[in-house]
Structures are given as structure tokens and as C-alpha cells.
Amino acid sequence: MTIENAKKAAGRAAADLIKNDMIVGLGTGSTANYFIEALSFRVKQGLYLKAVVPSSKRSHDLAKKLGLPAQDINQVPYIDITVDGADEIDPLKRMIKGGGGAHVREKILAVNSREMVVIIDETKRVSKVGVGKLPVEILFFGSPATRNALEKKGYFGKWRLNEDGSFFITENTNLIYDVVFDTPPSYPEQVHEEMIHIPGVIDTGFFFDIAGRVVVGYFDGHFEIQ
């Protein structure tokens, strides 16, 4: 009974939702990896996919390694379904994503899909989003000024760093500023709106009105679809 069992259960259950002839968006992260692996297994059993559209190089490399037909988002006419994880999700299906630093691309995939299926382990459910960090992607140009503007509005945090102490750089060649709230915001939509109107802020890790079905995996290996 481990968190890995829960992630695997959610990933496998989501793979069973995929139908023939679909174009599937692939999220990024450990739970998304379990989905990609389970999807590959289904393809080997005979499932036909027109394409998969990865949200990051990591997901692209895994998809290609497993024999999935990976294509760039600019190469496909539409996306039937995107399956991705979340760092937090509340009862209204408001989410925080970006722990892997790919939330901007993940959001583009999700909002351009007919449905976003969210796969989580049971620990990711919260009563209000904002318990953990909120990733904010920031343009490198003028980034100290952008950080100052965020702090003037009361949003404090830290630049995301690699293990060697260098700045974490997204695949969009931007920085990540991880905001930490004293308490989860009562109106996260307002926080998002305030942040994205600061010049230099590309996007936040808040996801609103995007999630469709939510697949929850549990430590004992069972799952629920909500």
C-alpha cells in the first residue's frame, strides 16, 4: 500500500478510457508517466491512436521510447482528450499544476482538448487550492522587476533552482517563481487575474474550469472516477 500503487491505479484506469482513433494529449509528471506506460500497453494489445501530443520533452521521449505516435501540437487538427496529473485539486475541480515546470504547455493542451481527464493519487485532494506552492512562469527579461511587482502585491516565494543551484529553465526558456501562501486564498481566481496582469508573468499554475473527469487512485490500488 504505497503512493506508487495509487498513481499506477489512476494511470491505468485513465488508459482504459481511451478509444480507437483518438488524438491524446499527454501530461507531464510521475502519474502521467504511469498513464503513458499503460496507454502503450493498450496500443500493443490493438488500440489504434491517430497521435499522442506530449506537453514536454520528458513525455515526448517516454512516448517515443514506448512506441507511441508522438506529434507536435501544431501538427494535429484537434485533441480528443488530454490526460494529466495535478499537484492539488479541490471539490470544485480547481487545480494547481506546475510541479514539473510544464504547466503553461499543459494548459495549452488541456484547453484545446475536448476533455481533460485528471489523474491523481488520493493525497492530491485539498479543501482549498493553495496549500502548497503555486508555480508562476516568468519571462527571463526583467525577471527581478517582475518578482518585485509580485512581492509588492503580497505574493512571496522563491525562484525554482536545479540541484546544482542554477536557475530552473522551462522548455519555453523562462523562469519559475514558486509562490507560497500563508493560507490558501479564498478567491484563487482573483489571485490568478492579479498575477497575470503583471508584465513579465507568462502564466500561473492555477487551472480553473478545465478539468473533466477526475480519476483518483488509492494506496490500496483501487480507483474512483469522479
Q: Which sequence positions are flagged as catalytic?
A: 106
At 135, list the grid cell: 508555480
Residues contacting 22, CB < 8 A, separation 6+: 49, 50, 80, 81
Q: Tell me the HSE value of 75 on the side-chain side, using a 13 A CA sphere.
A: 12
CA distance 147 to 161: 15
Q: Where are the beta strands (DSSP E) in 77-222?
A: 79-84, 88-89, 95-96, 113-121, 133-138, 157-159, 175-180, 201-204, 206-207, 211-217
Helices 3-15 and 30-44: crossing angle in degrees, nearest 10, is: 40
The sign of the dihedral angle between the CA atoms of 11, 14, 16, 18 is negative
Question: Of the candidates 105, 111, 100, 113, which has an alpha carbon nearest to the alpha carbon of residue 32?
Answer: 100
Question: Of the candidates 1, 51, 60, which has an alpha carbon nearest to the alpha carbon of residue 22?
Answer: 51
Question: Of the candidates 37, 49, 115, which has an alpha carbon nearest to the alpha carbon of residue 76?
Answer: 49
